Structure 1
Amino acid sequence: MLRGAGILLPLFSLPGPHGIGDMGPAAYRFVEFLRDAGQTYWQLLPLNPVLPEYDNSPYSSTSSFAGEPAYISLELLAEQGVLRRSASAEFGAGRADYEAARAYKVKIIAEAERPKDLDEFVGRNEWLEDYALYSALREYFGRPWVEWPRELRDRDPAALRQWREKLRRRIELEYLLQYFFWTQWRELKRHANSLGIFLIGDLPIYLSLDSADVWAHRELFKLDAEGRPLYVAGVPPDYFSPTGQLWGNPVYDWDAMRKEGFRWWLDRLRYTLSVFDYVRLDHFRGYAAYWEVPAGEKTAVNGRWVPAPGGELLERARDELGGLKIIAEDLGYITPDVVELRDRFGLPGMRVLQFAWDGNPANEHKPHNHVKNSVVYTGTHDNNTIVGWFFREASPKARREALEYMGRRSAKDIHWAFIRLAYFSVADVAVVPMQDFMGLGPEARINRPGTRGGNWVWRMTELPGRALARRIRRLARLYGR
């Protein structure tokens, strides 16, 4: 990756009139802010559809290929003249309201003119037929596919044909939603790239059981005859969690993946790398070995490590895709095999400044231990803001160490001190969450892992101004970013 700096900001966190950040005018103005601030990268979270049952988490999506309809901009559709009625209602400027925004937008888009090249779009995206049917069926039954009638759960061809006809209008609406989503996204990406801004996306390692992908490719997962997981994903007990973390996602049947030449995985990587310029592989250690827990366990204690063929997969991907524009999320319990896998393919890893202050001079997150081929963060979407972390979570010992390391006696403007640490790092890329540039506290946190409610909803009330862009740009120039 080019030496540079970037800002981490989810799409839903942008301001806008319709209840959630979207791909409309604010997104274009933010890209121009990035340019004015001397930035090279915009890092986002997954753009896939979310469900309220799963706290609207972008890491528990119903598809790894589809886009979330709430992110479609009605303003842009109105400018293009495809809407038959105007979008007059406006929502409050508070937290992201996925359900209200989606319902409002879908109702208006349902009446939009049908694009002439819609059929071509559907034919070009092989995943869309299964996803559109899945969305229609899930809406009809109101529950995951494992609870549908047996013939639909097991994808009986005659039943699928019957229901495709029965739900034809809802399926065609989904085609329209995905058309508008991906048309707008491609235009936004083209605009960003034209200004010298590269987009960094995020690829969750696991899928939700409640997804079109698992329903359509049951043979690639460790499931029983009724489609329920035999094993689920998680991480083992550690210093921070004596019972580990039980995520509940179905795990892959890597032997079945290997037999089909990793085709599904290669299609997923190819598609995601066409959507973004670079992709962060979430839970990278799971590509070397993953923690597998028998279904029905209440905690992750009784799991086991199972080797994964990440090397084979990445080798095939490198050969077929012509390179790997990938960042390895190598956080957590990292063993030598994970490091070897990352380094074998020359993938940049991650360094997070909030993790540096344990009294150990050899801590790899301390700036003097950073390496060029890495991405340094003040914090990620799973961390508190710097202000929230420093004053609410960091121990007194960690605070003292951080201040001494930076040669400071005061914690005034502590967020800027951490940003400066990231920028002068030797790491090729420095990424800072927008909230840290704004000096916001815990109220602006994106996600608290292991909790439900209040996550994935923080929004800016307005875009930052020129003064902040100039300050960031000076810092970027000072440190050769």
Structure 2
Amino acid sequence: MRKSGILMPIFSLPSKYGIGSLGNEAYNFVDFLVRTGQSVWQILPITSTSSIDGYSPYKSNGAFSGNYDLIDIDLLVSDGYIDYNFINSINYSEFDADPRYVDYGKVRRFKRIIFTEVFNRFDINSSESYKEFLKENKYWLDDYSSYMALREINGDNPYWDWKIKTEKEVKKSKDSNIINWYRWSLEYNKFLQYLFYDQWFRLKSYANDRGIEIFGDIPIYISQDSSDFYFNKEIFLTDQDGEPKLVSGVPPDEFSATGQYWGNPLYNWKYLEKNGFDWWINRVKKSFELYDILRIDHFRGLESYYCIDKATKDAMNGYWEKAPGKEFFDKIKKEVPDAKIVAEDLGLITKEVIELLEYTGFPGMKIVQFGFSTDADNMNLPHNFVENTVSYTGTHDNMPLAQWLKTAPHETLEYAKQYLRLNTYERYTEGLIRAVVGSASNMAIVPMQDWLDFDGWARINTPSTDENNWRIRLVHSDFTNELENYISYITGLYGRYKNR
């Protein structure tokens, strides 16, 4: 079956509280997807994020955590956790921000007031559903909550700046304020995860019941500033002090002429393989609780991974090391049979990566923006797409089409015009969208920005930069009847419209 979907991060949904959330607007977007004949809602990772990593969803404090920024306040009211009398007593003017961009600092300060009040009103000892959540998620939740509590009593800093490094040191301090603060924060962070997962699973059920699959994302790496690294250093490559010496990134590619320095710790694959890839298997299983389809970010790093010296941060002079790709995916297929996985096979792809992709049988990705840089043999040109692929106008890492059309080299743009027969009577972005939706790919994904013909101001992320990413927001006026008709028409024209 030919499927069509829209890429739309949760944080980009309209909201009166500064950031998209898991509440009414998310349900409205599901209804929008249904009305426009879509089958898939692709989102970015929904794990918790860190200020020191620019709030990137690809550098989380915890690989199993939920992003508490996305907890919906109005749902907390309707669920009886809090009332509008308290919410309206807060002077919101100091937290107000540009409706087009997320200001994470303001969002967190405002929601912290709300969440604190909700937690203080909640009886953690009387809720059976809360106790069950703690039990089912103990294998990751205890470490994550402890890390976040330690982080908080250390001024919300990453672990390498901590003075108090463990729970034992908290107790040894004999400072009742620190001890009580730690205990409170420990339970508080567990409670936030309970709220997030409760709201998420209700939203996912609503989408699934209406024929919408959630297409999620699992970052290949985790942040150094995370519970995963802090409490599981044996699964990473570290020096004698337990710190990463070699870190992640990629050499020069389509995204960056000088390569990309990501800075994530690299895995100790020998240790992981010896232990049955248990940490990874648990992570994949958790992901399939959250999503129906899973994109494995940086798939090629599971065949070979790029090593960069952390001291130099020089992505130009890194080197490749082998990863246990086939053995790893054999274990995943055994432990998670029938898993719907998509391989993010972008960047520098070798014959070994192609062989691994063919071995797994996973669909890869095609980006039409990359198709016009060479000649007719370019595998990102729509006539070369095969069924077992997911085609895109662009991903979260690409420019919106409208920006690409303004900045692409002259010869590239001329080739695109000729190939797609673009003319003054048709929006150029529509021509590129038609090429993707009309291709042979089993699934076609178009970011919301491209459907709206938004320019560079609406870009989600610019690789190798830490500022002004993951911020773009939509507003209610973006969702017009004209837009619905446009998406529905293109989706139906190429046989992807899903009738309900």
The amino acid of 2:141's aligned partner reads: L
Aligned to 1:62: 61
1:124 aligns with 2:130: no
In the alignment, the residues of structure 2 paired with residue 160 and residue 123 of structure 1 have an alpha-carbon distance, to the nearest angstrom, of 24
The amino acid of 2:101's aligned partner reads: R
Task: Name the SS of the counterpart of 1:95 in structure 2.
Answer: coil
Task: Name the SS of the counterpart of 2:203 in structure 1.
Answer: helix
1:467 aligns with 2:467: no
Residue 127 of structure 1: CA displacement?
0.6
In the alignment, the residues of structure 1 paired with residue 62 and residue 337 of structure 2 have an alpha-carbon distance, to the nearest angstrom, of 25
Give the counterpart of 1:410 among 412, 419, 424: 424
Whether the 8 Å contact between 1:403 and 1:410 is mirrored in structure 2 is no
Q: What is the aligned length?
A: 475
Aligned to 2:100: 94
Task: Name the SS of the counterpart of 1:249 in structure 2.
Answer: strand
Aligned to 2:192: 177
Whether the 8 Å contact between 2:367 and 2:393 is mirrored in structure 1 is yes
CA separation of 1:276 and 1:390: change in aligned 2, threshold 3 A: same
Task: Name the SS of the counterpart of 2:317 in structure 1.
Answer: coil
- Higher deviation after alignment, 108-117 or 166-175: 108-117
Name stretches of at least 5 consecutive residues in structure 1 with no aligned partner. Answer: none
The amino acid of 1:229's aligned partner reads: P
CA separation of 1:180 and 1:239: change in aligned 2, threshold 3 A: closer
Task: Name the SS of the counterpart of 2:264 in structure 1.
Answer: strand
Residue 123 of structure 1: CA displacement?
1.3
CA offset digits 1:130-155 (Å, max 9, x no partner):
11110111111132223334x83xx5
In the alignment, the residues of structure 2 paired with residue 354 and residue 316 of structure 1 have an alpha-carbon distance, to the nearest angstrom, of 35
In the alignment, the residues of structure 1 paired with residue 33 and residue 172 of structure 2 have an alpha-carbon distance, to the nearest angstrom, of 50
Task: Name the SS of the counterpart of 1:301 in structure 2.
Answer: helix
- Higher deviation after alignment, 227-236 or 367-376: 227-236
Whether the 8 Å contact between 2:369 and 2:394 is mirrored in structure 1 is yes
CA offset digits 1:152-187 (Å, max 9, x no partner):
3xx5x7447768954111111111111111100000
In the alignment, the residues of structure 2 paired with residue 388 and residue 313 of structure 1 have an alpha-carbon distance, to the nearest angstrom, of 39
1:12-411 to 2 correspondence within 5 Å?
A: 12-83=11-82, 85-88=85-88, 89=92, 91-92=96-97, 93-112=99-118, 113-114=122-123, 116=127, 117-125=129-137, 126-142=139-155, 143-149=157-163, 152=165, 158-159=168-169, 166=180, 167-237=182-252, 241=256, 243-391=258-406, 393-410=407-424
Task: Name the SS of the counterpart of 1:356 in structure 2.
Answer: helix
The amino acid of 1:16's aligned partner reads: S
In the alignment, the residues of structure 2 paired with residue 17 and residue 239 of structure 1 have an alpha-carbon distance, to the nearest angstrom, of 37
The amino acid of 1:445's aligned partner reads: R
CA offset digits 1:334-364 (Å, max 9, x no partner):
0011111111111010000100102310100
CA separation of 1:114 and 1:343: change in aligned 2, threshold 3 A: farther
Whether the 8 Å contact between 1:222 and 1:229 is mirrored in structure 2 is yes
Aligned to 2:440: 426
- Higher deviation after alignment, 276-285 or 223-232: 223-232
Whether the 8 Å contact between 1:69 and 1:106 is mirrored in structure 2 is no
Residue 412 of structure 1: CA displacement?
4.4
Whether the 8 Å contact between 2:260 and 2:463 is mirrored in structure 1 is no
Task: Name the SS of the counterpart of 2:444 in structure 1.
Answer: strand
- Higher deviation after alignment, 458-467 or 441-450: 458-467
TM-score by length of 2: 0.91
In the alignment, the residues of structure 2 paired with residue 440 and residue 58 of structure 1 have an alpha-carbon distance, to the nearest angstrom, of 22
Residue 230 of structure 1: CA displacement?
2.0
- Higher deviation after alignment, 81-90 or 297-306: 81-90
TM-score by length of 1: 0.94
Residue 224 of structure 1: CA displacement?
2.1
In the alignment, the residues of structure 2 paired with residue 241 and residue 82 of structure 1 have an alpha-carbon distance, to the nearest angstrom, of 47
Please give the root-mean-square deviation of Cα atoms over the aligned residues, in Å: 1.9
Task: Name the SS of the counterpart of 1:458 in structure 2.
Answer: coil
Whether the 8 Å contact between 2:255 and 2:463 is mirrored in structure 1 is no
CA separation of 1:200 and 1:160: change in aligned 2, threshold 3 A: farther
In the alignment, the residues of structure 2 paired with residue 75 and residue 226 of structure 1 have an alpha-carbon distance, to the nearest angstrom, of 46
CA offset digits 1:27-56 (Å, max 9, x no partner):
100010000000000000111111222111
CA separation of 1:8 and 1:266: change in aligned 2, threshold 3 A: same
Task: Name the SS of the counterpart of 1:305 in structure 2.
Answer: strand
In the alignment, the residues of structure 2 paired with residue 310 and residue 162 of structure 1 have an alpha-carbon distance, to the nearest angstrom, of 45
CA offset digits 1:104-132 (Å, max 9, x no partner):
22221222234612122111102111111
Name stretches of at least 5 consecutive residues in structure 2 with no aligned partner. Answer: none
Percent of pairs with identical residues = 39
Whether the 8 Å contact between 1:403 and 1:411 is mirrored in structure 2 is no
Whether the 8 Å contact between 1:291 and 1:305 is mirrored in structure 2 is yes
